[in-house]
Amino acid sequence: MQLYNKYDKKTLLKKIEQEPFKRITISFYQYANIENPETWRDELYENLQNLGVLGRIYVAKEGINAQINCPEPNVEKFRDYLYSFPFLNGIRLNIAVEQNNKSFVKLAIKVRDKIVSD
């Protein structure tokens, strides 16, 4: 499975404009001890890509920080997937008041030293 985006922004925007569904913008973060963030990043990417999730996620040994949008029909599946991890079970998902289908055009999950910069 490909674990990165290979299309340019123009192509991705065109694809989003043709989607027959609304996207829901969600943000969340959680401090936790993630022993192998590189491996977890790859698992996350594969599963979130399968759900059609777009956005920016930072993963570090100290936790996760995410701003994403999810196809409305997959929001419950997305939530169930997140809640399958004990340290994310029940995490508060912040839903944006104003929705913008074009807030993100690709999925980028990066391993960082910290999930929030000082």
pLDDT in tens, 9-52: 888 888 888 989 999 999 999 999 999 999 999 999 999 999 99
Asked whether the predicted pLDDT for residue 115 surpasses 70, the reply is yes
Asked whether the predicted pLDDT for residue 97 surpasses 90, the reply is no
Q: What does the DSSP assignment read for 45-108?
A: HHHHHHTT-EEEEEEETTEEEEEEEEEGGGHHHHHHHHHTSGGGTTPPPEE-SS--TTS-SSEE
- pLDDT score, position 2: 58
Higher pLDDT, 48 or 101: 48
- pLDDT score, position 21: 92
